[in-house]
């Protein structure tokens, strides 16, 4: 008697969009990862969606932080000297 593997039903697009973050974080169980990738292989829309999420993350990572003003640098230098004086 051959072992029968019960195959999980395929994922639909609406489920894919909820699994994207888990997928990108490597947090999907192996079986789900396989189902996710099988869906992508046959679905250009979800492939585009995943690419958009990756692009969103990339752009968010480029929202660089403002530099510290010279006045604030001076303030923090003073904070540091105060701490040194207090520590010794």
Partner 1 sequence: MTDPDAELLSRFRAGDEQAFVELVARHHTTMLRLAQSFVASRAIAEEVAQDAWLAALRGIGGFAGRSTFRTWLFAILANRARTTGMREHRTTPLESPEPAVDPARFGAGGMWTSPPVDWTDAAAERLDAQALATALQSALDGLPPRQRQVVLLRDVDGLSSEEVCEVLELSEANQRVLLHRGRSHLRTTLEANFGAR
CA-nearest of 53, 55, 42, 34 to 13 is 42
Q: Give the nearest distance from C-beta 15 to partner 1 in angstroms.
A: 7
Q: Is the CB of 5 or the CB of 35 nearer to partner 1?
A: 35
User: 47-52 — which CB contacts under 8 Å span 24+ positions?
Assistant: 49/16, 49/17, 49/20, 50/20, 50/23
Residue 16-55 contact track with Zn ion, rule CB under 5 A, x = bound: ---------------------------x--x---------
Residue 15: contacted member of Zn ion, partner 1, none (CB under 5 to 8 Å, by partner type): partner 1
Distance CA 13, CA 7 (A): 19
Please report, as ranges, the residues that interact with Zn ion according to CB under 5 A. 13, 43, 46
């Amino acid at each position: 008697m051959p072992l029968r593997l019960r195959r999980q039903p395929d994922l639909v697009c609406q489920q894919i969009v909820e699994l994207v973050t888990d997928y990108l974080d490597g947090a999907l169980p192996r079986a789900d990862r396989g189902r996710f990738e099988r869906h992508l292989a046959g679905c250009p829309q979800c492939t585009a969606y995943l690419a958009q999420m990756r692009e969103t993350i990339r752009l968010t990572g480029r929202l660089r932080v403002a530099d510290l003003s010279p006045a604030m640098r001076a303030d923090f230098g003073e904070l540091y000297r105060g701490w040194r004086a207090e520590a010794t």
